[in-house]
Amino acid sequence: MQPTNRSRRILLPVRLWFIHFSLLVALGLSYIPTGRFPGVPDWVALVLAFWCIREPLRIGMGAGFFFGLLVDIGQGAAMGQHALAYVVLAYLASGLARRLMWFPSMQQALHVLPMLLVAQVLMVIVRMIAGAEFPGWWYFLSSFTSVLLWVPLTYLLLLPQYQPVERDDNRPI
The rounded distance, in Å, linking the Cα atoms of 118 and 126 is 12
C-beta closer to another protein: residue 95 or 160: 95
Rule CB under 8 A: say whether 151 interacts with another protein: no
Q: How far is CA 138 from CA 68, 78, 114, in A?
A: 22, 20, 16
Rounded to a whole number of angstroms, the minimum distance from the CB of residue 86 to another protein is 9
Among 44, 61, 96, 115, binds another protein (CB under 8 A): 61
C-beta closer to another protein: residue 127 or 158: 127
- Which of helix, strand or coil describes residue 2? coil
Give the number of residues in contact with another protein, rule: CB under 8 A: 46
Among 10, 130, 165, 173, binds another protein (CB under 8 A): 130
The rounded distance, in Å, linking the Cα atoms of 156 and 15 is 15
Rounded to a whole number of angstroms, the minimum distance from the CB of residue 113 to another protein is 19
Q: Which amino acid is at 21?
A: F
Cβ neighbours for 33, distance < 8 A, ≥ 6 positions apart: none
Q: How far is CA 163 from CA 9, 150, 159, 167, in A?
A: 11, 21, 7, 8
Contact indicator for 108, 137 with CB cutoff of 8 Å: no
C-beta closer to another protein: residue 109 or 116: 116
Q: Considering only residues 97-126, where is the footprint of another protein by CB under 8 A?
A: 124, 126
Rule CB under 8 A: say whether 29 interacts with another protein: yes
Q: How far is CA 83 from CA 27, 61, 160, in A?
A: 13, 9, 28
Among 3, 13, 35, 172, binds another protein (CB under 8 A): 35
Rounded to a whole number of angstroms, the minimum distance from the CB of residue 44 to another protein is 12
User: Which residues of this protein are in contact with another protein, per CB under 8 A?
Assistant: 24, 27-29, 31-36, 57, 60-62, 64-65, 68-70, 73-81, 83-84, 87-88, 91, 94-95, 124, 126-128, 130-135, 139
